[in-house]
Each structure stands twice: as structure tokens, then as C-alpha cells.
Amino acid sequence: MLPGLVEVDEAYFGASESGGKRGRGNDKSKVLVGLSLNEWGKPQYVKMEVVDDLKSDTIVTFAELNIQAGSTISSDAYSSYRQLKKEGLDHEPKAFNPKTDKEHLKWLHTIVSNAKAMSDGTFHGLDQKHLPLYLAEFCYRFNRRFNPNEIFNRLLFSCLTGEKIVYAELKA
């Protein structure tokens, strides 16, 4: 669960299938991103979830499953985010203009940019079918970046206790 001040926004991953429209309304994979900030305003933990739509119910469900009760949610003023306050969550929306407001959601946008650079640089693009797993790996690494000595042991434990998957299942 993401504690404290939590920035929430959506991001779009993958190639556009038609025309290359930017922002909301494109046909890329929609990803909700939550990022908790510490008391100094620096990023702590991130959660990313591929979603089918950006309706208010989807955003509220994401917040309830991933954000600790009592946390403050910061987002842009997109209409779907308004439901967060109606559901009793502490929500502080702010109209966002990327040309003039460089600080609002700065860390969240930086982390989304890093995730996109990882997908393009390491994997040279992502198959949308496996996007949730790639994002889970990115979040796993980001959330454990201050404990590099534990990563191998945690990965080994996950490999030994996780559900096995064969290539045919992966390909299907």
C-alpha cells in the first residue's frame, strides 16, 4: 500500500495502432500509476496497473487497492479523478499545464519516462500481452532500489516459490 502523499496519473504504453494520437483517447495500453513521496517530496514506492479504461470506477478501485487509508492523493484535474473525493478519499486535484507547471507530478512523470526508456532500451518495445509483467518487474526493482543486496535473495525466493510456467503457456 502506498503511504503518505501519493501522486496518481495515467500513462500510455506501446505503439499506436492508428494515426498516432497523443494523450487521452489514443489506442495505446492505459496504465494507472501511483507514486508515494516521502516527507521531503522524494519518491518512495511505485505501483503500475494496466487498465481497460480510465473511468472513475476504475480509478477508485485502483486507489482503494493500492493507497493506504489516510493518504493524500495528488492528481491532475481530469474529471474521472473527481470521484476519489466523493468516495471519501483525501484528494487534491490540480489543473496541469506541462508547459508552465514543471513541479506538479514531476516525480511520477520522471518514473513513467524511466519505465518507457526501460521498455524501449532493454526490450525494444513491449508486447501488450506481457506489459503487466514488464511493469511489475520495473516496480519491483524501483521499490527495492535502496536494498540492492537483497534483490538476488528475493528473486531466488520468488523463483522457488512462484507458480511455474512453461514456454507454451507463455506463448499462448
In this structure, what CATH number is given to the domain that contains residue 157? 3.30.420.10
Q: Residues near 81 by Cβ (< 8 Å), separated by ≥ 6?
A: 8, 56, 59, 75, 91, 93
CA distance 65 to 114: 24
Q: Residues near 119 by Cβ (< 8 Å), separated by ≥ 6?
A: 13, 125, 126, 134
Q: Residues near 109 by Cβ (< 8 Å), separated by ≥ 6?
A: 9
Chain mean pLDDT for the chain = 87
Average pLDDT over residues 36-40: 95
Q: Give the number of domains in the chain.
A: 1
Q: Which domain holds residue 106?
A: 5-171
How many residues does the structure list for the chain? 172
Average pLDDT over residues 7-13: 93
Spatial CA neighbour of 44 closest among 68, 77, 22, 17: 68
Is 70 exceeded by the pLDDT of residue 21? no
Q: Residues 68-99: pLDDT tens digits?
A: 999 999 998 888 998 998 888 999 888 877 77
Average pLDDT over residues 156-166: 88
Structural contact between residues 75 and 93, judged by C-beta atoms closer than 8 angstroms: yes
Prediction pTM value: 0.83
Burial degree of 59 (CB within 10 A; 0-12, 13-18, 19+): buried
Least confident range from 16-30, 119-133, 141-155: namely 16-30
